[in-house]
Amino acid sequence: MKSLPKLAIFRDLRKQGVSEAIDEFLRFAKDKAEIVASYGIEDLKQTCMTDSQSEDVKILKQCDFAIVFGGDGSIISTARNVSRASLPVIGVNVGKLGFLAEFSVAELEDFFPSLKRGNVPVDKRMMLECRVFSDGRSKDKDEKFCSAAINDIFITAGPPFRMIELKISVDGQPLAGCVTDGLIISTPTGSTAYNLSAGGPILSPKIEAIVITPICPHSLSFRPIVINADSKIEVFGVKVNEGTTISIDGQVSENLSINDVVRVEKEKSDFLIVNNPIRSKWDTLASKLSWAEPPKYQKRPDV
């Protein structure tokens, strides 16, 4: 007899309806699954941890799946940590958009027999690693910030909201200098987030590539660019504001000073997400973001 699936539950109690959704699921899952651990979204530290440094990762490695109750932000916050344990994430949407949170509680219950058999569609998504170094150096001893990113890493001008000047290099070769309101470095998963709003391209989530998109550049010629996933990107702050920040997935931030070096490259671990088999990614793109909708022609009365 196959053993019960071992689950880690993650909850975002700031969202209305999460407690009720978890209670409903736990009643259903009684005698059908083993709940190994339960976390609030805020419980795990947002750092570049190694397995040996994290007791949480050791616990999560005992599990088969992480089930996140919340919205897309809850999944992103969780995934930055559980990816270290190579733990597939199942998103239960109790939020608004639910682009990554593909299941309702009812759909998860219907899907549970597949979960018990271990016969589930799992997507492997690339992540980014961001490190910030001080005083123009790119050495470990000068590191002041480190985080993994699911969606994107972006630099924003901040107070007093003057345009900033950045220099970008790829694999040690100068790419561009720009005077701008900021810069977005995005994964394919994040291409439908801030990158899309800033005019960047939509990438298939299974592609391994990195998108670099300026935010309101002071030049018509600086367009978004897609580069190889194995590239190492370095961004140098030539002229920044007092409030200029670098942000990870819009959730973790660090002040950026003049001469700081931001190094971005592909994260060693991947973000594993369980797909809802009743939906395709293109269905989600169309239904959630109204992508490629036909024009709404005016109906004319018969004459």
Domain 6-125+269-289 listed as CATH 3.40.50.1000: no
72 is catalytic: yes
- Strand runs labelled E in 158-274: 164-170, 173-180, 182-186, 209-215, 225-228, 233-239, 245-248, 252-255, 261-266, 271-274
Mean pLDDT of 209-229: 95
Q: Retrieve residue 21's tokens.
A: 């959704």
Mean pLDDT of 218-231: 94
How much is the pTM?
Answer: 0.89
Rounded to whole angstroms, the Cα distance separating 230 from 278 reads 33
* Averaged pLDDT of the chain: 88
Rounded to whole angstroms, the Cα distance separating 247 from 228 reads 22
Residue 51 reports pLDDT greater than 60 = no
Give CA torsion, residues 244, 247, 253, 254, to 10 deg.
-50
Residue 261 reports pLDDT greater than 90 = yes
Q: Retrieve residue 294's tokens.
A: 């036909």
Residue 53 reports pLDDT greater than 60 = no
| pLDDT, greater one: 198 or 42 | 198
Residue 286: per-residue pLDDT: 72
| pLDDT, greater one: 66 or 219 | 66
Mean pLDDT of 28-46: 84
Q: β-strand 164-170 against 233-239: which pairing, if any?
A: antiparallel
> Could you give the C-alpha distances from 85 to 55, 152, 206, 239, 264, in angstroms and in order?
11, 21, 20, 39, 22
Q: Retrieve residue 260's tokens.
A: 């700081």
pLDDT band at 1 (very low <50, low <70, confident <90, very high): very low
Residue 47: per-residue pLDDT: 45
Residue 184: per-residue pLDDT: 98
Q: Which of 90-99, 159-168, 268-277 has the lowest mean pLDDT?
A: 90-99
Mean pLDDT of 73-100: 86
CB-based contacts of 250, cutoff 8 Å, min separation 6 = 73, 151, 152, 154, 194
**CB of 11 closer than 8 Å to CB of 70:** yes
**CB of 37 closer than 8 Å to CB of 65:** no
Domains of the chain, by residue range, sit at 6-125+269-289, 128-266
Phi, psi (degrees; rounded to nearest 5) at 296: -90, 90
Closest to 91 (Cα-Cα) out of 70, 107, 109: 70
Residue 77 reports pLDDT greater than 80 = yes
Mean pLDDT of 10-22: 90
Annotated catalytic residue within 72, 152, 181, 249:
72
pLDDT band at 65 (very low <50, low <70, confident <90, very high): very high
pLDDT band at 302 (very low <50, low <70, confident <90, very high): low
Domain 128-266 listed as CATH 3.40.50.2300: no
Mean pLDDT of 171-197: 95
Closest to 154 (Cα-Cα) out of 216, 69, 63: 216
Mean pLDDT of 112-126: 89
Residue 292: per-residue pLDDT: 73
Give CA torsion, residues 215, 287, 24, 19, to 10 deg.
30
pLDDT above 70 coverage of the chain, percent: 89
Rounded to whole angstroms, the Cα distance separating 5 from 26 reads 13
Phi, psi (degrees; rounded to nearest 5) at 19: -60, -45
Over residues 124-151, the pLDDT tens digits come to: 999 999 999 997 666 666 899 999 999 9
Rounded to whole angstroms, the Cα distance separating 127 from 209 reads 10
Residue 15: per-residue pLDDT: 84
Q: Edge to edge, what strands does the sheet with 245-248 contain?
A: 225-228, 209-215, 182-186, 152-156, 245-248, 252-255
Over residues 238-249, the pLDDT tens digits come to: 999 999 999 999
Residues, the chain, total?
Answer: 303
Residue 94 reports pLDDT greater than 50 = yes
Residue 289 reports pLDDT greater than 80 = no
Alpha carbon 85 to chain centroid distance?
16
Mean pLDDT of 249-255: 95
Name the residue type at position 269: S
